[in-house]
Amino acid sequence: MTTFAVTLEAFTDIDFWIGVGILAGTYTIFALGLQINVGFTGIVNFGQAGFMAIGAYTMGILVVKAGWSFWLALPAATVTAMAAGLLIGLPSLRLRADYFAIVTIAFAEIVRYVAQNARELTGGNQGLLGYDDSWAEVSAWILDRLETVGFGDQFLMPLLLVTWLTALALIVVLTIAQRTPWGRVLRAIREDEDAARALGKNTFAYKLQSLMIGAALGALAGYFLALNLAFVSPESFEPLFTFIGYAVLILGGLASYAGVALGAIVLWTLLEATRFLDLPLAAEKVAALRFMLVGLLLILLMAYRPQGILGKRREMVLGD
């Protein structure tokens, strides 16, 4: 069977689209946090994977080690991720943009290495298991309802539905918030922070709020990633996760929440479809080729539509 035929067969497989949909939904939520930081506030956050790890690990530890209810652990873990954003932002948000970016990526790596070495608490490289029993009950309830429409045998369909319902609700809420005076101040900070400060706005406080909201969104994405993988391990939160989030941002367009969703769908459709390439190459070379294709897509996008799929050219002009 030719590579084209295998790829075409994948595109007609519902399991393929469910898998793509869950990954795209998770990355949508993840990149919404980057959008509010980069696209609307102008702060370069390279530590989003760290906030995601804090959310996922805190949720898992509270459920598995402390015996908390899954539904109580979720808000507690979200608050923990926001507190981490506060602690990182307080000493570093006054730094120049490039130094702040270095601080955030260092923070994300510290979180990952702590998770890797605190074996008694996090399970180390073997991962953390057993936190999803409550979700399994909800998933089974949803599957019973889906059986009436012929999707009762799709085990991951409930996760797909909940992921995208959450992502779409967040897009609506963030879009409304962006049209408020608070959202307009964020945009003013992005365009010219000195001018916003001259108008009496506490720009540091607004940037701190933006970072904390981005951290909360990273934690939410961490929950869906943890439910999809059924275990949490340090390898799930490497810096690559944040960089792919930026690829989603570039594809969709800066300052476009809807663009984030579209960019995530396009990116993950391409990444997953290229898994079926039947080439006479070693597995690691095929994996590298997949990312080269994504890079080529980004280069072409930058050449012919630098503002992204749903972005606007005026949003590309960021203040220094």
Instruction: Provide, for the chain, the percentages of residues in helix, strand and coil under a 3-state DSSP scheme, each rounded to the nearest 5.
Output: 80, 0, 20
Listed residue (248, 260, 266, 271) closest to 310, CA to CA: 260
Query: Mean pLDDT over residues 242-264, rounded?
Result: 94
Listed residue (237, 209, 229) closest to 86, CA to CA: 209
Residue 320 has pLDDT above 50, yes or no: no
Residue 317 has pLDDT above 60, yes or no: no
Residue 166 has pLDDT above 80, yes or no: yes
Return the ∠ at Cα 82 (arms to 76 and 86), rounded to 5°.
140
Per-chain mean pLDDT for the chain: 91
Residue 20 has pLDDT above 50, yes or no: yes
This prediction has a pTM of 0.94
User: Can you name the CATH fold of 3-316?
Assistant: ABC transporter involved in vitamin B12 uptake, BtuC (1.10.3470)
Q: Which residues of 236-263 are buried (b: 16+ CB within 10 A; e: fewer)?
A: bbebebbebbbbbbbbbbbbbbbbbbbb
Query: Mean pLDDT over residues 9-22, rounded?
Result: 85
pLDDT band at 319 (very low <50, low <70, confident <90, very high): very low
Q: What confidence score (pLDDT) does residue 202 get? A: 97
Q: What confidence score (pLDDT) does residue 7 get? A: 55
At 286-311, the pLDDT tens digits run: 778 878 888 888 888 888 888 899 98
Query: Mean pLDDT over residues 156-175, rounded?
Result: 97
What ranges do the domains of the chain cover? 3-316
